[in-house]
Amino acid sequence: MMTAQPVVRAGSADLSPPPFNLPRRAALFLDLDGTLAPIMPRPDDVGPDARRARVLARLRRRFDDRVAVVSGRSLPDLDHILGGGVRAIGAVHGLVRRAVDGTITEIKPHAGLEDARRILGELADCERGLLFEDKTLSVALHYRNAPACAEAVVEAAERLSQATGLVLQLGDMVAELRTPGADKGSAVAAFLDETPFVDATPIFVGDDLTDEDGFAAARRLGGFGVLAGKPRPTEADFHLDGPEAVLGWLERLTETAEVLA
């Protein structure tokens, strides 16, 4: 079975909020659900938001376009939710990546997705509350509205991972099977090799287990991670309570001129 299992540090309940005095060439890598937007019962319930769009526009000016959204969602979905306001995007956990200049790189869908798509779709049809999501390079089954099905969903996803070679990515009340390849950490590293991110200090903000690769990459490359939401063991160095706190911190970043040398 191919399962994404980032290494995490023990203990995070005592992490402090992130600073406002960021390195001079900081770059922000931001998750969406649970970070820039609250977790909703259905992915489609998250839509464009005026405050979020305003904050992201100001951040892009403040950091000279060194702002990227790195999310498990598809690229078209992210463009819709963000109103096209972010150029650099790592979609489907980094399997699809759009650079600031608009260049898109992505890998071919894994052959095993056909079986996973059919089986997970049938499960969703049979159990009210389960929600099937198709992202082309991955398929996911959400059980937020059917928590009693958690064990059955994960077990089915594990069997499919073993049978197909797809990567099993467990998230917040979701089991996702995705094409092997990039993750959020490798997406961060790839962005840092491109203009305008070259030589920048990466700061990754996210909430889910899928964001741990991003936290680890940010630290390895000289920056840090910020965990949003409930404290838990994590690779992040700082903590914010959730999307409202994240947006508040980001707003402060657009207002302050404080930077580290």
Catalytic residue ranges: 31
Cα distance between residue 214 and residue 218, in whole Å: 6
Instruction: Tell me the longest C-alpha to C-alpha distance in the chain.
Output: 58
What phi and psi values does residue 106 have, to the nearest 5 degrees?
Answer: -155, 160
CB within 8 A of 81, min separation 6: which ones? 32, 37, 46, 47, 48, 73
DSSP, collapsed to helix, strand or coil, labels residue 24 as coil
User: Residue 118 corresponds to which amino acid?
Assistant: R
Structural tokens at position 220: 């390895």
- Residue 232 exposed, middle or buried by CB count within 10 Å (0-12, 13-18, 19+): middle
Q: Specify the DSSP element, H or E, that contains 170.
A: strand 167-171
